[in-house]
Amino acid sequence: LAGNIIGSGIFISPKGVLEHAGSVGLALVIWVLGGGVAALGSLCYAELGVTIPKSGGDYSYVTEIFGGLAGFLLLWSAVLIMYPTSLAVIALTFSNYVLQPVFPNCIPPYNASRILSMVCLLLLTWVNSSSVRWATRIQDIFTAGKLLALTLIIVVGFIQIFKGNYKELTPSNAFNFWMTPTVGHLALAFLQGSFAFSGWNFLNYVTEELVDPRRQNLPRAIFISIPLVTFVYTFTNIAYFTAMSPQELLSSNAVAVTFGEKLLGYFSWVMPVSVALSTFGGINGYLFTSSRLCFSGAREGHLPSLLAMIHVKNCTPIPALLVCCLTTLIIMLVGDTYTLINYVSFINYLCYGVTIIGLIVLRWKKPKIFRPIKVNLLIPISYLAFWAFLLIFSLYSEPIVCGVGLIIILTGVPVFFLGVY
């Protein structure tokens, strides 16, 4: 679980969290609370995963509890918003980290960043279309990039603290606000941070392979993995502030590169290379899983049957891969990285919340059904209280970005009744 959550998000989100939090201290608090919210959500999903033992995660639970329309809308939002937007963000991050050392004193040119992102996406689409074996090999090889980068950042950060270089982390400086954050700012800061925690519901796709008769290793995995991820993310941010002032971090287009330039000297090249490897692997992983989601949805009759076709020789879902690639290319052209993070995180939270509402509905509709894991009702209620706060104030602060996402989801209603129902 920890390996799935820890990804490219930690190299992208720190700037967005700090920008909306208004101080170093509050930004660190948001990272810790983000881990707590992910833990609450994971526990709710653990109950759903063993109560409705079907593959497909959210899609299966929502379809089972609320019916075909709700399940289709979740699939629709994943295919059109969640996966392609996440892909676009990671691809843009890849290009930023590759180009930042080439343009050390300024932000890389817009066109150069977009073109490199698109070339990377097209290359990996070709790889995934040509060979499943090569796609999985790339994933295994490039996962090492994120582990190298994060280990290096945290170790160097601890060395800095032992040397006494923690001026920005003292209470007087950490909570020295350069702006007074509103409730809307806090909601957007949480959205930025939540992008890095994406993946906490991954175990629900492999429940049958993990569970023992009492289903104890699901909560065990959660209680070990979420605190570990929260520790890694919080101390990565602490390490950043041992090398940079808040203003330097906010002005950086690639935080880990700036960190490396300040502290690693001759070896500063390790940071952009490691993060580029990590994001390259992240793009590959999202392409692999999103194309399979399109393939599965088409096989269930919820998407055009063309998307259920595979290459005769390579056994790869080429039509689904091309759709994922095309939607991602379009999204790359319509927004900057941090706007796209708000966009996808809002829709992610919307889907998580609807799924957890389903847990409470299922408790009411089928109170006697066997539940190997049954969480205290305060856990889903606490999650949904935070969920409501986040959605309301995010929509208030970014009405266009969040509103467009809602409109795209609602376009699935006529599509369902005209083409699926």
3-state DSSP of 315-347: CCCHHHHHHHHHHHHHHHCCCCHHHHHHHHHHH
Q: Is the pLDDT of residue 27 over 90?
A: yes
pLDDT score of 213: 36
On the question of pLDDT at 3 being above 60, the answer is no
Average pLDDT, the chain: 85
> 401: domain CATH number?
1.20.1740.10
pLDDT band at 135 (very low <50, low <70, confident <90, very high): confident
Residue 156 pLDDT > 50, yes or no? yes
Average pLDDT over residues 50-57: 75
The arithmetic mean of pLDDT across residues 365-372, rounded, is 86
**pLDDT reported for residue 81:** 87
* pLDDT interval class at 325 (50, 70, 90): very high
- Could you tell me the residue range of the domain that residue 201 belongs to? 2-419
**CA-to-CA distance for 56 and 72, rounded, in angstroms?**
12
Of the two residues 81 and 297, the one the predictor is more confident about is 81
Residue 30 confidence class, pLDDT cut points 50, 70, 90? very high
Where residue 56 falls among pLDDT bands split at 50, 70, 90? low
Q: Say what the pLDDT of residue 385 is.
A: 94
Q: Is the pLDDT of residue 313 over 90?
A: no
Q: How far apart are CA 320 and CA 237, in angstroms?
A: 37
Query: Distance (Å, rounded) from C-alpha 143 to C-alpha 138?
Result: 8
Decide if pLDDT at 170 tops 60: yes
**Count of domains observed in the chain:** 1
String of b and e for 157-175 (b: at least 16 CB within 10 Å)? beebeeeeebebbeeebbe
pLDDT tens per residue across span 209-242:
454 534 566 677 778 888 888 999 999 999 999 9
Query: Is residue 1 scored above 60 in pLDDT?
Result: no
Q: Are 225 and 1 in contact (CB under 8 A)?
A: yes
Residue 225 has, within 13 A of its CA and on its CB side, a CA count of 23
Rg, the chain, Cα only: 21
pLDDT over 60 (residue 251): yes
pTM of the model: 0.86
Q: How confident is the model at residue 311 (pLDDT cuts 50, 70, 90)?
A: confident
